[in-house]
Amino acid sequence: MTINQFISFLLPRDKSFYPLFEKAAENLRASADNLCLAVTATAPEQRIEYMRMVEKLEHKGDEIAHEIFNELGKNFITPFDREDIHRLISRIDDVLDYIHGASKRMELYKIKHFTPEIIKLSELIQTSTHELHTAIMELRNLKNLRKITDACVRVNSIENHADDIFDNAVAKLFDEEKNAVELIKMKEILSALETATDKAEDCANVLESIIVKTA
Amino acid sequence: MTINQFISFLLPRDKSFYPLFEKAAENLRASADNLCLAVTATAPEQRIEYMRMVEKLEHKGDEIAHEIFNELGKNFITPFDREDIHRLISRIDDVLDYIHGASKRMELYKIKHFTPEIIKLSELIQTSTHELHTAIMELRNLKNLRKITDACVRVNSIENHADDIFDNAVAKLFDEEKNAVELIKMKEILSALETATDKAEDCANVLESIIVKTA
Amino acid sequence: MTINQFISFLLPRDKSFYPLFEKAAENLRASADNLCLAVTATAPEQRIEYMRMVEKLEHKGDEIAHEIFNELGKNFITPFDREDIHRLISRIDDVLDYIHGASKRMELYKIKHFTPEIIKLSELIQTSTHELHTAIMELRNLKNLRKITDACVRVNSIENHADDIFDNAVAKLFDEEKNAVELIKMKEILSALETATDKAEDCANVLESIIVKTA
């Protein structure tokens, strides 16, 4: 235990952060849920509705982030290091950005064909954000560190899986898609989806490093 | 206030860093100014001159960074955490790298047509680096934290704006540019410019996390 | 010297980390060695063997990382900040990922022609990981900080060199490769290789920031 850890052990910690963390985690999960609904929608007008929801949740994420940064400026004793809170919230924001980025590109590039790989990657993003939600809900009591670590391990393995799907999807494009412009479009969409799972892994890494410090 | 913060409050802080931070911020701003001049130049030989200047300022940035890292090794009490100084300088270096990267690619790929989107993104980079300069000039007294926070908020919103311009520019390329090789070239240039605004946002995030700690 | 640094000076540090760091560094170096052997192999079946080895070493890297994260949870006084150890190991993992990513893509995209640029970039990755190995071997005694700093400076300059090679290789592709799909394939491979040198630079930056704190 370092001196700082000892001091924060003695002092009461501000509990106002937990509801905010949880709001951020729920918002992230909702964004991924809507992405999945968008890529599997059968009616185009419904798809657009889900995409609008993804956009809205990204803005909501920005508001939650600002609320947390404001609290950081006000509260004296935070439950974790101020900079870890800052990093965690910034990384959650990154995932939201890429989910929204993928959704926005699908619309902008007028994608008509939602391939099995697009759907699979979206589902992996969804599972990944649900795992992050589970981990973040545990921050409140920190009694079950194992539960956080296990969720983080799963986020990591989802990223590996997404990587494989992405690589194989691109290889397939190279084999089958003769129109280079269409190939680039599809590669861009797949890449945004795959990067969302990378950013989720970054979130898990921040969570793991928070756990490491409380050890 | 943590024990470390209390101790650094009692001890005199080394002021020699501020001129170096400010030199780094001015150098960054000059690089973006020259990028803007390059993309709007009417005579090709003038354009090349501005591009050479961007290259020169990237090397100058490396020298300033090394000077700061040397100071970090010598000075006992730094005005902020050593690692934050390290991160701030590394992030400034990243912005310089992408500005130079964009300029270098324009030359290497023999770009003839400087589109409105290239010019607009360059101007956003310019505004962003001017905001960072403003924020960094405030580090010296830290009396006006609001001024730093506001500049960082603007850097963030510039990044969002650049994102939109990039996405729309790429969608337009997909619609209009039938030559895939030309499309890829232009996409690469736009992407380097857009990434420069991302890296400027990373700088702003480091500045915000420094502010969070002094709160 | 901060209070924490003073305390860790007084207390015995756990030495069990050094062999693990060194194992991670050796594993990274072996991965780059096998990449070089793969891209210069004359017989396709041999190339595949080296590529399998790169894959195997990536998995081994994951195991070493987990071993270190477990130790972090158990040991009381770590030789450096827990989060720096976490970051160092995560960055080493990133380099391994990109080396493996490049190798995997070469196989997936059925690359037949191993260009001088692919070979040159692979050699730069190799030199870079050997420098990181040298630096990490010095962590054990920290008597020769200069040796670590010098290795980090070289990793940085290798990254600059790799950047130039990448940019010129892509410019050459734009000039010479008329098949856009082939162009994209080759660009992807080169980009994965170049990113491996970026990630090696990130490792060097973490090492430098560890050194900065012990200064």
Return the higher-pLDDT residue of C136 and C213. C136
The chain B residue lying nearest C169, using CA atoms, is: B108
- For residue A3, the chain C residues in CB contact (below 8 A) are 3-4, 7
Report how far residue A46's alpha carbon sits from residue A48's, in angstroms, rounded to the nearest whole number: 5
pLDDT in tens, A41-76: 999 999 999 999 999 999 999 999 988 888 887 766
Indicate if the alpha-carbon torsion angle C22, C27, C29, C30 is positive or negative.
positive
How many CB pairs below 8 Å do chains A and C form together? 51
Are C170 and B188 inside 8 Å of each other by CB? yes
C178 within 8 A of C105, measured Cβ to Cβ: no
Mean pLDDT of chain C: 90
In this structure, what DSSP letter does residue A166 have?
H
List chains adjacent to chain A, taking adjacency as at least 3 C-beta pairs closer than 8 Å: B, C
**A101 inside domain:** yes
pLDDT at A13: 62
**B4 inside domain:** no
A2: nearest CB among C4, C74, C90: C4
Tally of domains within chain B: 1
Report how far residue C65's alpha carbon sits from residue C71's, in angstroms, rounded to the nearest whole number: 10
- Lowest mean per-residue pLDDT among B56-60, C4-8, C80-84: C4-8
C64 within 8 A of C27, measured Cβ to Cβ: yes
B180: nearest CB among A69, A90, A180: A180
pTM reported for the whole predicted model: 0.84
Grade residue A4 by pLDDT with cuts at 50, 70 and 90: low
Are C72 and A212 inside 8 Å of each other by CB? yes
**C193 inside domain:** yes
Are B181 and C178 inside 8 Å of each other by CB? yes
Are C108 and A212 inside 8 Å of each other by CB? no
**Residues above pLDDT 90, as percent of chain B:** 72
Task: Dig out the tokens for A148 from the structure.
Answer: 């956080």
Are A86 and B208 inside 8 Å of each other by CB? yes
**A4 inside domain:** no
**B23 inside domain:** yes
C97 CA: distance to closest CA in chain A (Å): 10
pLDDT at A80: 82
pLDDT at A107: 96
pLDDT in tens, A157-183: 999 999 999 999 999 999 999 999 999
C-alpha C73, offset from chain centre: 25
Range C83-92 burial, b when 16+ CB lie within 10 A, else e: bbbbbbbbbb
Phi-psi region of B111 (alpha: psi -120 to 50; beta: other; left: phi over 0): beta
CATH number at residue C128: 1.20.58.220
Return the higher-pLDDT residue of B2 and B137. B137
HEC secondary structure over chain C: CCHHHHHHHHCCCCCCHHHHHHHHHHHHHHHHHHHHHHHHCCCHHHHHHHHHHHHHHHHHHHHHHHHHHHHHHHCCCCCCCHHHHHHHHHHHHHHHHHHHHHHHHHHHCCCCCCCHHHHHHHHHHHHHHHHHHHHHHHCCCCCCHHHHHHHHHHHHHHHHHHHHHHHHHHHHHHHHCCCHHHHHHHHHHHHHHHHHHHHHHHHHHHHHHHHHHHC
**C6 inside domain:** no
Q: Nearest Cα to A95, choosing from A185, A171, A205?
A: A205
Grade residue C210 by pLDDT with cuts at 50, 70 and 90: confident
Q: Select from A62, A94, A181 the residue whose CB has the most chain B CBs within 10 Å, as the one to mutate to test that interface.
A: A181
pLDDT in tens, C5-30: 555 555 556 778 899 999 999 999 99
Grade residue C76 by pLDDT with cuts at 50, 70 and 90: low
Return the higher-pLDDT residue of A66 and B138. B138
C83: nearest CB among A3, A4, A209: A209
B200 CA: distance to closest CA in chain C (Å): 18
Q: What residues of B are in the A interface, CB distance below 8 Å?
A: 2-4, 163, 167-168, 170-171, 174, 177-178, 180, 183-184, 187, 205, 208-209, 211-213, 215
C108 CA: distance to closest CA in chain A (Å): 6
pLDDT at B78: 80
Mean pLDDT of chain A: 90
Are A185 and B174 inside 8 Å of each other by CB? yes
* Average pLDDT of the segment spanning B134-155: 91
C201 CA: distance to closest CA in chain A (Å): 18
Mean pLDDT of chain B: 90
Q: Nearest Cα to A63, choosing from A92, A106, A33?
A: A92
- For residue B181, the chain C residues in CB contact (below 8 A) are 174, 177-178, 180, 183
C109: nearest CB among A163, A174, A178: A174
Task: Dig out the tokens for A177 from the structure.
Answer: 């898609």
Task: Dig out the tokens for C187 from the structure.
Answer: 């660009």
Structural domain boundaries enclosing A75? 13-214
Report how far residue B13's alpha carbon sits from residue B142's, in angstroms, rounded to the nearest whole number: 13
HEC secondary structure over chain B: CCHHHHHHHHCCCCCCHHHHHHHHHHHHHHHHHHHHHHHHCCCHHHHHHHHHHHHHHHHHHHHHHHHHHHHHHHCCCCCCCHHHHHHHHHHHHHHHHHHHHHHHHHHHCCCCCCCHHHHHHHHHHHHHHHHHHHHHHHCCCCCCHHHHHHHHHHHHHHHHHHHHHHHHHHHHHHHHCCCHHHHHHHHHHHHHHHHHHHHHHHHHHHHHHHHHHHC
Interhelix angle B44-74/B82-108, nearest 10 degrees: 160
Q: Identity (one letter) of the amino acid at B113?
A: H
- Lowest mean per-residue pLDDT among A58-72, A95-109, A123-137: A58-72
Q: What residues of C are in the B interface, CB distance below 8 Å?
A: 2-4, 163, 167-168, 170-171, 174, 177-178, 180, 183-184, 187, 205, 208-209, 211-213, 215
Taking CA A54 as the corner, what is the angle to CA A50 and CA A55, rounded to the nearest 5 degrees? 115
Grade residue B17 by pLDDT with cuts at 50, 70 and 90: confident
Report how far residue B209's alpha carbon sits from residue B145's, in angstroms, rounded to the nearest whole number: 12
- Lowest mean per-residue pLDDT among A47-56, A186-195, B33-42, C133-142: C133-142
pLDDT of A11 > 60? The answer is no
**C3 inside domain:** no
Report how far residue C51's alpha carbon sits from residue C40's, in angstroms, rounded to the nearest whole number: 12
Indicate if the alpha-carbon torsion angle C156, C162, C166, C172 is positive or negative.
positive
pLDDT of A78 > 90? The answer is no
**A80 inside domain:** yes
- For residue C163, the chain B residues in CB contact (below 8 A) are 101
Q: What residues of B are in the C interface, CB distance below 8 Å?
A: 3-4, 7, 69, 72-74, 82-83, 86-87, 90, 101, 104-105, 108-109, 180-181, 184-185, 188
A184: nearest CB among B163, B184, B209: B184
Task: Dig out the tokens for C49 from the structure.
Answer: 């063997």
Report how far residue C62's alpha carbon sits from residue C66's, in angstroms, rounded to the nearest whole number: 6
Task: Dig out the tokens for B15 from the structure.
Answer: 């002021």
Grade residue A24 by pLDDT with cuts at 50, 70 and 90: very high
